[in-house]
């Protein structure tokens, strides 16, 4: 059995010139997670990350708080990158506004307004599910890449190993889909509920992925500060 910890990156910088950058709060969240792992004696035999800066930085901050002698080097692979939602939304904007003119305001500000972004994302997914867009292939490619990433982790580490994967909310929700056979609609809705630096643990054995823990932020809850718990 391989135990895989899927960890979402710390809070990024939505609405700024570069979303792919941890906020000060995101850095703090990652530090608290690293301290929590160190305090509870959690050690990883392998550490992976997607290729996005917010994922890599979270991985580096967390592992820096662990025992350096026992922490392996970070393996970076784009198999655990986030789904490119903007590339899905942008080609559909004109059609979505034409179908529903009330979306015009959201379309004009979705890059800096999270509610507008979420609205357009959900509509874009619905158009895909209804067969009114051709982005399903990009979603299929995304999920297949995650499958290959999981296979890589298992292949490179074998059984009785614990691996960490620093990634994003969309990736973790897709892993949940693979483990629980969720519908696309369930997967999308689940993705909005995944906390920054949350920990979801899966056991992989005999080509089966089993959920053990989902969306845990015990490291943040221990501080009894609700401002530490974020989604972006």
Give me the helices (H) in 65-168, please.
Answer: 85-89, 93-99, 104-109, 114-129, 136-157
> What SS3 class is residue 70?
helix
pLDDT of residue 15: 72
Q: What is the pLDDT of residue 137?
A: 65
pLDDT under 70: residue ranges of the chain: 69, 134-137
Q: What's residue 135's pLDDT?
A: 66
DSSP state of 52: S
The pLDDT value given to residue 18: 84
Looking at residue 134, its pLDDT comes to 66
Q: Which residues contact 197 (CB under 8 A, 6 or more apart)?
A: 7, 8, 9, 10, 26, 29, 30, 32, 33, 58, 217, 219, 220
Which pLDDT does position 112 carry in this prediction? 82
Whether residue 136 is contained in a domain is answered as no
Residue 105: what pLDDT?
93
Kind plus residue range of the DSSP H or E element containing 7: strand 2-8
Which CATH number do you get for residue 166? 3.40.50.1240
The reported pTM is 0.93
Parent domain of 177: 2-82+141-228
In a domain, 134, yes or no: no
User: Angle 210-162-6 (CA atoms, 0-180°, nearest 5)?
Assistant: 60
Among the candidates 129, 160, 193, a domain finishes at: 129
pLDDT score for 85:
87
Q: What is the pLDDT of residue 176?
A: 98
Asked whether residue 90 falls in the same domain as residue 45, the answer is no
Is 76 inside a domain boundary?
A: yes
Check whether residue 65 and residue 154 sit in a common domain. yes
Same domain, 150 and 68: yes
Residues 221 and 174 in one domain: yes
Q: End of a domain among 102, 129, 156?
A: 129
Predicted pLDDT of residue 143: 93
């Amino acid at each position: 059995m391989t135990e895989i910890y899927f960890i979402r990156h710390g809070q990024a910088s939505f609405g700024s010139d570069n979303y792919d950058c941890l906020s000060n709060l995101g850095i703090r969240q990652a530090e608290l997670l690293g301290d929590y792992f160190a305090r509870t004696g959690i050690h990883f035999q392998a550490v992976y990350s997607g290729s996005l800066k917010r994922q890599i930085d979270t991985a580096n901050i967390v592992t820096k708080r662990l025992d350096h002698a026992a922490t392996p080097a970070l393996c970076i692979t784009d198999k655990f990158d986030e789904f490119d939602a903007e590339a899905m939304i942008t080609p559909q904007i004109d059609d979505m506004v034409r179908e529903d003119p009330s979306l015009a305001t959201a379309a004009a500000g979705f890059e800096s307004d999270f509610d507008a972004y979420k609205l357009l994302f959900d509509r874009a997914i619905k158009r895909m599910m209804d067969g009114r867009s051709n982005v399903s292939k990009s979603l299929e490619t995304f999920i297949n890449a995650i499958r290959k990433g999981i296979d890589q982790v298992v292949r490179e580490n074998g059984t009785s190993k614990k691996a960490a994967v620093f990634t994003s909310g969309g990736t973790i929700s897709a892993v949940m889909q693979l483990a629980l056979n969720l519908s696309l609609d369930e997967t999308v809705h689940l993705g909005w509920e995944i906390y920054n630096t949350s920990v979801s643990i899966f056991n992989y054995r005999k080509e089966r992925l089993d959920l053990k823990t989902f969306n845990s932020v015990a490291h943040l809850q221990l501080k009894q500060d609700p401002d530490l718990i974020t989604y972006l």
